Copies of this chain bind each other. A is one copy, B any other.
Amino acid sequence: MERLPGFRDFYPEPLPGNEPWSCDARQYIFDTWRSVARRYGFREYDGPPLEPLELYTNKSGNEIVGQLFNFIDKGERAVSMRPELTPTVARMVATSERAYKKPIKWFALPQLFRYEKQQKGRLREHFQFNCDIFGEQANAADAEIIALLIDSLRSFGLTAEDFVLRLSSRQAWQGFYEARNPDASKAYEFYQVVDKIEREKPEISREKLAPLGISYDDVVSFIQKSEPTPELQAVLDNLAARGLSDFVKTDYGVIRGLAYYTGVVFEAFDRKGEFRAIAGGGRYDNLIKLVSNGKVDLPALGFGMGDVVLLELLKVRGKLPKFSANLNAFMMIEDETLRAESLSLIQQLREGGLLVDYSLTPTKGDKQFKRAQELGSKFTVRLEKSDTGTIAVVKNLQTRQEERVNPSEVATKLKS
């Protein structure tokens, strides 16, 4: 039986047909994300992977339903597998924000689900690094979340030559629009045109802009100038103090498609432009109020980074480490009368935190040695009878040097 299209199996290491996915690579990405977020004082949270359908339609309207894994559950509830985490975290924050001093700095690593049209490389699930700050209006929060995004990518060994953050501002575009069209109700329609302008043929954008009374050239020249607004300048200065100026540029070609952004917005791209956006986010000060039906009003901002583009980029740039079982030792059992003693030593080493494997059943010595090598073990350990009792032979598989020690000293030897 096949797995569903658009879903991934995560074997421990990449297998033909699953590349570059592997559980080890996924865990490496998760560990790195977690470690950076914690360095920034962010705390981890998670919500349910299944939520009431309304949570998504309330925020994004009914047109989103076509992209959801939604259904009626056995209790007649309209439910959906989560396509994003923002509505969930908005609900969690709105419910419990009183328990927290502000600002609240949270991150999560959810798996998300969208019923995308099937095409090569398009998945229907992915993992996303979600970082958000709630309860801080000042631009210092925008700088903090952007610095975290930059350092997340740097933690994988990527440099300013590999990626750049394109920084933009909904206020800048709002000012541009209001100066040209007094009808505020059409502003979002305009933002949608700007969002697609880089990928769209000029004549199509021109056509869409005409009824809004805005000229294509006007928009393009505004993008090309991209003069920082005061709030963008504050963010840029803050990042400069951290020594992160090389990783950002003001670029109004970015506006973010979603309706709910209200301030600074940004997207991270690889410098060579080979991939889709690596990450994106911005300020969404009105969403908590919307999701809580007006009960809680908290400014908010955040970003999301998916695992799919990131892993492809790391692979192409040669930034993925080699993964293995990382065994400290493979215990060789060549004399079956020593199996019980060997098991005792294995137990002792494992209890000491060491990664140890061995052949479960009687196996020829050379086969055991080959297995130790295949598993990338650093050492082999073998017990031997001697006149003075049992002796352990510890062999370093890199230097091929052997040492004979008392079995009780093996753990220390392996750790040195």
Contacts and interface: CB of A to CB of B under 8 A. Distances in A.
A146 interface: no
Given A12-B106, A99-B15, A344-B243, A325 B41 contact: yes
A214 interface: no
A210 interface: no
- Each complex incorporates copies of this chain amounting to 2
B4 A38 contact: no
B125 A4 contact: no
Q: Is chain A's binding surface mostly helix, strand, loop or mixed?
A: mixed
Contacts of A184: none
Interface stretch (A137-145, A196-204, A251-259, A278-286): A137-145
A339 B240 CA distance: 12
B15 A52 contact: no
Contact of A39 (B23, B52, B355): B355
A44 B73 contact: no
A92 B11 contact: yes
Given A50-B113, A360-B141, A371-B101, A44 B4 contact: no
A12 B3 CA distance: 33
A19 interface: no
Nearest to A104: B12
A159 B397 CA distance: 36
A309 to B, nearest CB: 20
Interface in A342-379: 343-344, 346-347, 350-351, 353-357, 360-361, 371, 374-375
10 contacts: A2-B52, A3-B51, A39-B356, A49-B111, A66-B74, A71-B71, A71-B72, A136-B360, A151-B351, A237-B340
What are the 6 tightest A-B residue pairs by CB atom distance, in nearest-first order? Answer: A41-B357, A71-B71, A7-B48, A12-B43, A241-B340, A242-B347
